[in-house]
Structure 1
Amino acid sequence: MGPLMLDVSACEINADEKEILDHPLVGGVILFSRNYHDQAQLTELVRQIREYSRNQVLIAVDQEGGQVQRFKQGFSPIPAMGRIYNKASSDMELACPNAEMLGWLMAAEILAFDIDISFAPVLDIWGVSDVIGDRSFHPKEGIIIELASRFIRGMHQAGMKSCGKHFPGHGNVKEDSHVTTPVDKRSAEQIMTSDMRIFAEIHQQGLLDAVMPAHVVYPAVDKLPAGYSSKWIREILRKKLDFDGVVFSDDLSMQGATSVGNFAQRAKAAMQAGCDMVLVCNDRAGAIQVLDGLPIDYQASDRLKTMQKGPSPDMGQLQLSPRWQQAQQLIAKFN
């Protein structure tokens, strides 16, 4: 499997993309709203991606719920994670099973279209960050841990692996890493005992399959953004937390990722720091630069294979299941 995950431009594959997908360094494709018109089209697009890819690629999407849900028409409208606790009137005995049901529903519908993963859940704290906000489960670490753990259990029941983001935490910086490089000036102790505690405790339960580091600088720990930092990935995540899952870079076309040079240099820096797969989205020239700049025989980590989906029912079969119908009753309460 190759180390690069890239995107495609529309609802079907064009001639240039067929050639790119055949490149030995391509290991994944991430889909966006522009890639979705209806369910029949999505089925065909995924089929084309798998047909023209040289490798057994991972196909991914951001289907978190709320404002970040790429496929809408025909899919259940998953609420933002920050609504789960409030909708349960702060009753964790109700909120937790609701989180599990929503995790299962989100994953089951995505898997029904032969898509491997949704990059979820967000494990950031609901703090000052405008770009996180109610994508987070809650402002308090303990509640995030409980609800996110149950959400992941639901994903696992459907057959989808989890990806916690954005390690070690994006919630305590105001700036948006899509447009700038945020700097979190808190002490290392504050970060470790607050934001990173969420990742650590969920991992201790054996629930965290993958992690996506933040394009945020934490100068008390390292001068580099976490996604380029071997201190954060190799020393803290791998050694201190004993994490042996997959590390995906966040999108290297984001402004928060521009500090180390061109796209090829960014990809090399991310992989040297410990990322197993790098994402380059919405910049075809940047993706090609990565393909041209890496050794053609680069061997990506075998860990990536663990993120592939297994057999799953299609949407028609899924909608006949009692659990899907029960989940629709829950969705109706949110809407």
Structure 2
Amino acid sequence: MTKTQPTYTLPTVTLTLSQKVGQLFMPAVFINDTEEEVQKMEKLIKEYHVGSVCFFHSRASAATNFEGKKKIVHNEKSYDRLLELINRYQKAATVPLLIAIDAEWGLAMRIENTPQYPYAITLGALTNNYNLIRKVGEAIGNDCKAAGAQWNLAPVVDINNNPENPVIGYRSFGDDKNSVHEKSAAFIKGMTSSGTLNSIKHFPGHGDTATDSHLGLPVIDKSMEELMENELYPFKKLIESGIDSVMVGHLLLPQLDEEHPSTTSSKIISDLLRKQLGFDGVVISDALNMHAVSKKHPEKGKLENAAFLAGMDVLCFSEHVVEGIDEIMKNASEERINESFERVWHLKKKSFEQDTEAKSSSSPYELNREIAEHVITELYGNPSEVNNIKSSDFLNISVSSGKTNSFAQEIQSHFGSEIIDLENLSGDNKEQIVLSIFPPAVKPKDQFGFDSDTLARLHEVIEKHAPLIYLFGNPYVLDILQLKPNSNVVLVYQEFPAFQDVAFKHFLGENKGKGKLPIQLKTFGNER
């Protein structure tokens, strides 16, 4: 990927008050939109002076459509389409747009065939090695900037201290507040060196909930003392060191505001974030189409107005821009509008007037490999048995979920142990087993995508054979495998080729497990 987008400078124009309000809106735009939808967005940007847009893959992949089970169309030319649409939307704008995207683990979070880096939970397994996280932040920032996206809505600084969390989980660096702060700071430092804007999220902390705010309103029922001690700690420390923006999540904190979710709570935005924590930068909402708040404000424009009056500066994923502008113009003072406008304008100046040039991005393989060498984590309940398994005529069992299992292929090539699918394993075999597992999904919904038969078969194999398990996926998967105290597990975290290559080196004994489990599991591995 190389830089193909032009650079922009802010014009010396005088905007009307209504146009200033338009600068506070960030509608969603989609790679796979139709030409009709693209033209409608161009018209909206031009006529209402929209200040920013946020790119998503497709309307079908939007998180609020989970329950709709809409088919997501794969687009081999997503990156080219991204460049094309950014160019078109910028041309439609009188004032250059800030182009935002969620690239927590790279553009690949939204765009096919672009570099992908490890999830935050994988980086959370690093013991120190903050320079590797800085390199990831810098690489992602370079990729964003080369594409023409100046604003990466990352990192997630939520402390994931609830194993049942359906939406944060693997997106968090872990469940320790100091580790989350330090690793977030390293990621931000890397992004900043690339000239890419950041946004820490989801204030005031989305980690300790089992509710997905895309679909319902999570309740975080904790005292201010508890929040300051844990959830708010990374936000406070990062604000003190300087960040570009804070994204406010859709959460109800009854001890702070029993009536309003954080999105529309002046007690949380204006009092806690602004006054108590001293943040004077841009405050951006989480997506306003999310059901946690959208269903509570059915009248068009009312949610945007409520969020703005509570202290919000940028209204992300507003589906009612025109009505939102009208409501804010009717209800907000000129002084309040100018406050938010000046913050957004300052952010645009910072982005468009800096000298940092986007660097060409190389393949992420080498950086991913270096990370893999430091994060592989050994959770051995019976360490003496590990070498016995490796030195035996073990069975090479693969649960690949349709993915390429080069780890098992390497074992077959080097040891002559033919790959056996789980369903073909004989029930009466007595051999030792090396079991490589590739979960179908990274999110915990529906048992990480495992069908009930496969999960039951895994439980049976673990119970009867005590296999050596290599898990290429979310470590929370271990909580559904019914592991025993003497189970032996190697956490590899990612299925990337680089991680599979390093995992095989680990199997050969050429690489040692240097990582540390970054979270508390419900049933296994926490004391190892």
Report the TM range for the smaller structure's normalisation: 0.7 to 0.9
Whether the 8 Å contact between 2:151 and 2:196 is mirrored in structure 1 is yes
Ranges in structure 1 where 5+ consecutive residues have no aligned partner: none
Residue 50 of structure 1 aligns with which residue? 90
Q: Which residue pairs with 2:225 in the alignment?
A: 189
**Pairs within 5 Å for 1:320-331:** 324=362, 328-331=365-368
Number of positions where the alignment pairs a residue of Structure 1 with one of Structure 2: 318
Q: Secondary structure at the match of 1:289?
A: helix
Structure 1 residues 233 and 263, CA gap change in structure 2 (3 angstroms): same
Per the alignment, residue 342 of structure 2 pairs with: 302
Q: 1:212 aligns with which of 243, 247, 261?
A: 247
Task: Deviation per CA, 1:11-47: give whole Å up to 9, x if none.
Answer: 5663322211113351111111239734333222111
C-alpha change, 1:165 and 1:143, in structure 2 (3 Å) is: same
Q: How does 1:166-185 map to 2 (within 5 A)?
A: 166-185=202-221
CA contact (8 A) 1:21 1:53 kept: yes
2: CA distance between counterparts of 1:72 and 1:81? 19
* Pair 1:62-2:102 in alignment: yes
**Distance change in 2, residues 1:255/1:232 (3 Å):** same
Residue 152 of structure 1: which of 180, 188, 197 is its match? 188
Residue 272 of structure 2: aligned partner: 236
1:247 is paired with a residue whose SS is: strand
CA distance in 2 between counterparts of 1:197 and 1:263 reads 36
Q: Is the deviation greater in 272-281 or in 241-250?
A: 272-281
Structure 1 residue matching 2:202: 3-state secondary structure = strand
Given the alignment of the two structures, is residue 20 of structure 1 paired with residue 30 of structure 2, yes or no? Answer: no
User: Residues 202 and 15 (structure 1 numbering): CA distance in 2 closer, same or farther, change over 3 Å?
Assistant: closer
102-111 vs 251-260, greater mean Cα deviation: 251-260
1:81 matched to 2:120: yes
Q: Which amino acid in 2 is paired with 1:53?
A: A
Match of 1:280 in 2: 317
In the alignment, residue 78 of structure 1 is paired with which amino acid? Y
Q: What residue identity is the alignment partner of 2:281?
A: G
Structure 1 position 267 matched with structure 2 position 301? no
The one-letter amino acid of 1:203's match is I
How far apart are 1:293 and its partner, in Å?
3.6
Q: Which of 8, 27, 42 pairs up with 1:6? A: 27
- Judged with a 3 Å threshold, the aligned counterparts in structure 2 of structure 1 residues 53 and 215 are, in CA distance, closer, same or farther, namely same
What is the CA distance between 1:66 and its match in structure 2?
7.8
2:360 to 301, 318, 331: 318
Residue equivalent to 1:112: 146
Deviations along 1:55-109, whole A, 9 cap, x unmatched? 3221101111189811230x211211110132x3xx21x2x11111111111110
Determine helix, strand or coil for the equivalent of 2:135.
helix
Q: CA deviation at 1:290?
A: 2.2
* TM-score, normalised relative to structure 2: 0.57
CA offset at residue 261 of structure 1?
A: 4.7
> Share of identical aligned residues, percent?
27
Distance 1:332 1:307, change over 3 A: farther
Tell me the CA shift for residue 159 of structure 1.
0.5
Which SS does the other structure have where 1:79 is aligned? Answer: coil
Aligned residue type for 2:179: I
**Over aligned residue pairs, what C-alpha RMSD do you find?**
2.4
- Greater mean alpha carbon deviation, residues 259-268 or residues 131-140: 259-268
Could you tell me how far 1:118 is from its partner in structure 2? 1.2
Equivalent-residue separation in structure 1 for 2:81 and 2:356 (angstroms): 19
Question: Does 2:56 correspond to 1:32?
Answer: yes
Q: Which one-letter code corresponds to 1:17 in the other structure?
A: M
After superposition, what is the alpha-carbon deviation per residue over 1:250-297, rounded to whole angstroms, capped at 9, x for unaligned?
11111111334534111111111111111125x4xx344324544399
CA contact (8 A) 1:212 1:249 kept: yes
Q: Quote the Cα distance in structure 1 between the aligned partners of 2:45 and 2:204.
A: 32
